[in-house]
Structure 1
Amino acid sequence: MKISMYVTSLVKLVFLVLLVLQVSVAFPFDNKPPALAVYSAPANAELNTDFTVKVRQHSQPWKTLPVHLVKVDQVKGAKHTTENASMSYFDFSGEVEVSVTYNKGNIKQSRIRPLSYNIPHTVKGRTVIFKLYRPANLSVEINGDIFHNLHLFANPINTFTPDKRDTNLLYYGPGIHEVKGKILKVPSGKTVYLAGGAILRAQILIKDASNVRVLGSGMVDIAVKQGVRIANSKNVLIEGIFCTQCFTGGSDSVTIRNVKSMSYYGWGDGMNVMSSTNVLFDGVFNRNSDDCTTVYGTRLGFTGSSRNVTMQNSTLWADVAHPILIGTHGNTPNPDTLENLNYINIDILDHKEAQIDYQGCLSIDAGDNNLVRNVRFENIRIEDFRQGQLVNIRVFFNSKYCTSPGRGVENVLLKDITYNGKNAGMSIIAGYNEERKVKNIVFENLVINGQLISDDMKEKPAWYKTTDMANISVGEHVEGIVFRKR
């Protein structure tokens, strides 16, 4: 009996450790004392009554969170419809308990995503209850409804203390803030602080500036397209806020950390990078009505190559188009190079695209004479998306958006990629001609529905290609595809 109790306790301890590790993937460990910060909604803020959300620390009274109205894009056939979803946020350290009550009816089914976080929860009547031990960006979904779900952003405690006497601080406290012309242009050396409970009804524009920070837990209003725009600037930090889009063009040394991007309108790309270098996305959440994140060369008045771009510890949800897209746009007369691109420790929650030319969770489509090289996809967990492909790597000429095919795709590592689901279509890898090839593509520890795909896998008939086992169509002008174990 004692041995059995000891084993049971040990199993529970191991489970708890694993849970803490999963939830903390997007945020570093810290030794801060327990803390909890919640924020009231401003008067006249748009709210949604689908959920009642509460949070508390151990043995403390519950605190009710505002549930903000956010909008998402649902594609029905070839038509786009805007759906009303929910969003709540708070800041904490230590351990908290969360209560989510579904006000629209009974709970027949519930889940909390990303699924890889393995967050256990209990259902009591119409209420889902669970604990968090580290910050996380989550989707709470009831009865399989992904378009009227709760987006719950549990942020780390904000360590920045705004000094309102600081002449370099642009402070926006709790409340709704209007800006003349709907654009807040931020000069060099300034810090913009959006406090929790603040809603800014203007675009944050960082143009021809350096040493700029945008901090806080507040929001740029969902009606503001391209809520944050960084153009021809250097040394920029965006951290903690919510907005529709966060764009980077012609810039150097940009960090975007724990930013939540949600869009619902046409061309609603989440976090585009054009002609920029040294860009880091860390712990971001993207749910977008077009590509979640892209890397291009010359485009929209920005010129030159893109290099050293990393996205890590993040969550991507493409209601339309690609979660990740690299390479489409560039400069045919003066070719660009897109290189040293890294996507590490990412959860992909959805991908929905009926047009085959624009499918691919992990997509490199080299056009406009771009050369794409040295790309790393690592530790990426792909859930069962609605429609599309797992991988799309091509040198192509898309006459709708390009003026020439790309120069090539070289040196791509796809390591520790997992997919569990049944909706993935056939992936594509294809070059263009003998001068414009796809070369040196390495899959390491690719796991599809629990099956490890490798060149020496026992399940593969001798007359099959490994790509047959991975459901990948390989076209002409491709060389050096390898599937290996870790």
Structure 2
Amino acid sequence: MIRIHLGIGLLFWLLSVQLCAQQLVIYPVPAGVLYSQHNDDYTVRVRKPGEPWRDLFEYNVQVDLDKVRDASMVFFDFSGTVEVAVRKNNGLVQTAQIRPLSYQIQSKQEGNTLYFTLTQPRKLSIEFNGDKLQNLHLFANPLETEIPDPNDPDVIYFGPGIHTPDDKPGDVFRIPSNKTVYIDGGAVIRGKLVCDKVKNVRIIGRGIIDQPQRGIEITHSEHVLVDGIIVRNPQHYTVYGGRSTNITIRNLKSFSCKGWSDGIDLMSCSDVLVDDVFMRNSDDCIALYGHRWDYYGGSRNIVVKNSTLWADVAHPTNLGLHGDTRSVGDTLENITFSNLDILEHDEDDPDYQGCLAISCGDLNLIRNVTYENIRVDDFEEGKLISLRVLYNKKYNTGPGRNIETITFRNISHSGSMANPSIIEGLSEQGMVRGVTFENVRINGKLLHKTQSNVLQIGAFTQKILFKPD
């Protein structure tokens, strides 16, 4: 009898563990959002295996500065396994693709509906008939691990609904030190969050910052965390950082379609982690600089990893254009880009091409930069790699110094639209030296020094190595 009771108890325990492991969280949509921000190009449903389907709200997001288009976005949280059904509502489906391709997500098409299963958090682009401009973005988040108490005096709590600043001086929410800002998944904030001269600030949640002047400003601050939120179509930057240290940006999702609507731009910032973000921007997705405007000093100890970058215009990654020419210049060093999927790069101006770009101007010295485990899809127009010391008269007040000790490891690019990559110095005082290519493959073929149609090595360069040779 004891054994029977133990067996029944064990069975109930296993069932309870399984139920806890299978969770699906769908957030309410504020009433004022329902019609103005909905896109009916797709109908998206999700469910836990064996349970009824649940509808998601398909938000409208605008993409691509060249010709602004309306795309779609959905999001939810889950653990365990979730099944997804995506129906295209306009036109017949000929082909369907789920990117990044590196995830190798298997799907089944029945008529105009695509079915697939997820067992871990993913940020996806679902594209029917090769359409990358009016596609569906699906953000399957992990479950939140912390929901703070709204009554805690150290918490600024944005619950479900639409929130605007009370005094509206430029639509700003100013965040003091030692605060946790929580944005519920059913919350929409219409104003930027400003962290200026503060420390120990956390901005977390699953909600949306909607069409602000900028999404989040982090200036002259330290120990700031941004985790989990969505920034929808800001007028300018998504995250704007200046002269700050110990910044962590995790699970951020961003869309922009305006001029100079960069994703994450950090000026004179150090000790930064950018992890698991999805940036679709109509300017640089991630740009790291020295001095600019009121921010002085170099940039160092920065890691960007486990992320998806989509530049409808300009660079997915860019280093070094801006710096300080008042004296000896700035140094940007110890920077790593790791485990990235680059889904688009579209730039017709040769001065601003390059998925993996170092544009060294303004007396900057850029050194010890690693690009590793990066997969680049076919793109509209541009270059895979651009390493240049330059003097850009539009943005610089002086030439760059040197680019030194750059490593490209396990890089793959598949496509036919890339212009030749370039490595080029400017002068004896502005060299590119110490560049290593290790297992860099273009359409499956190992990159070699002699492939001038793929890589052009210009003047004032030294020690350009290829492994294996």
Deviation at 1:168, TM superposition (A): 0.7
Where 1:350 maps in the other structure, the secondary structure is strand
Where 2:451 maps in the other structure, the secondary structure is helix
Cα 1:47–1:483 change in 2 (3 A) is: same
Deviation at 1:374, TM superposition (A): 0.3
Q: Which residue of 2 aligns with 1:372?
A: 366
Structure 1, residues 57-81: CA drift from partner, whole Å, max 9, x if none?
1101111111111111152xxxxx2
> For the Cα contact (< 8 Å) 1:246–1:261, is it kept in 2?
no
Cα 1:32–1:424 change in 2 (3 A) is: farther
* Letter paired with 2:364: N
1:296 maps to 2:279: no
Q: Which residue of 2 aligns with 1:100?
A: 86
1:70 maps to 2:61: yes
Q: CA RMSD in A?
A: 1.3
Q: Which residue of 2 aligns with 1:110?
A: 96
* Letter paired with 1:479: Q
> For the Cα contact (< 8 Å) 1:40–1:65, is it kept in 2?
no
1:86 maps to 2:69: no
Q: Which residue of 2 aligns with 1:342?
A: 336
Where 1:445 maps in the other structure, the secondary structure is strand
Where 1:44 maps in the other structure, the secondary structure is helix
* Letter paired with 2:245: D
Matches within 5 A, 1:28-427: 33-45=21-33, 46-75=37-66, 81-180=67-166, 181=168, 182-221=171-210, 223-243=211-231, 244=234, 245-334=238-327, 335-427=329-421
Q: Percent identity?
A: 46
Q: Which residue of 2 aligns with 1:23?
A: none
> For the Cα contact (< 8 Å) 1:74–1:147, is it kept in 2?
no
> For the Cα contact (< 8 Å) 2:65–2:258, is it kept in 1?
no
Rounded to whole Å, the distance in 1 between the matches of 2:400 and 2:278 is: 30
Structure 1, residues 120-156: CA drift from partner, whole Å, max 9, x if none?
1111111111011100111111111111111111000
Deviation at 1:40, TM superposition (A): 2.1
Rounded to whole Å, the distance in 2 between the matches of 1:164 and 1:194 is: 11
Deviation at 1:470, TM superposition (A): 6.7
Deviation at 1:434, TM superposition (A): 1.0
Runs of 4+ off more than 6 Å: none
> For the Cα contact (< 8 Å) 2:338–2:374, is it kept in 1?
yes
Rounded to whole Å, the distance in 1 between the matches of 2:278 and 2:216 is: 15
Structure 1, residues 358-404: CA drift from partner, whole Å, max 9, x if none?
00000001000000000000000000011000100010011011011
Rounded to whole Å, the distance in 2 between the matches of 1:155 and 1:246 is: 20
Q: Which runs of 5+ in 2 are unaligned?
A: 1-18
Where 1:357 maps in the other structure, the secondary structure is helix
Rounded to whole Å, the distance in 1 between the matches of 2:243 and 2:209 is: 23
Q: Which residue of 1 aligns with 2:467?
A: 484
Deviation at 1:468, TM superposition (A): 1.6
> For the Cα contact (< 8 Å) 1:448–1:470, is it kept in 2?
no
Structure 1, residues 93-138: CA drift from partner, whole Å, max 9, x if none?
1110011111112111111111111111111111111011100111
What is the TM-score with the length of structure 2 in the denominator?
Answer: 0.92
Rounded to whole Å, the distance in 2 between the matches of 1:34 and 1:211 is: 34
Q: Which runs of 5+ in 1 are unaligned?
A: 1-30, 76-80, 455-465
Where 1:179 maps in the other structure, the secondary structure is coil
Structure 1, residues 314-335: CA drift from partner, whole Å, max 9, x if none?
0000000000000100001131
- Which piece of structure 1 moves more, 357-366 or 32-41? 32-41
* Letter paired with 1:484: K
Structure 1, residues 142-186: CA drift from partner, whole Å, max 9, x if none?
111111111111000001122112001111111111113111110
What is the TM-score with the length of structure 1 in the denominator?
Answer: 0.89
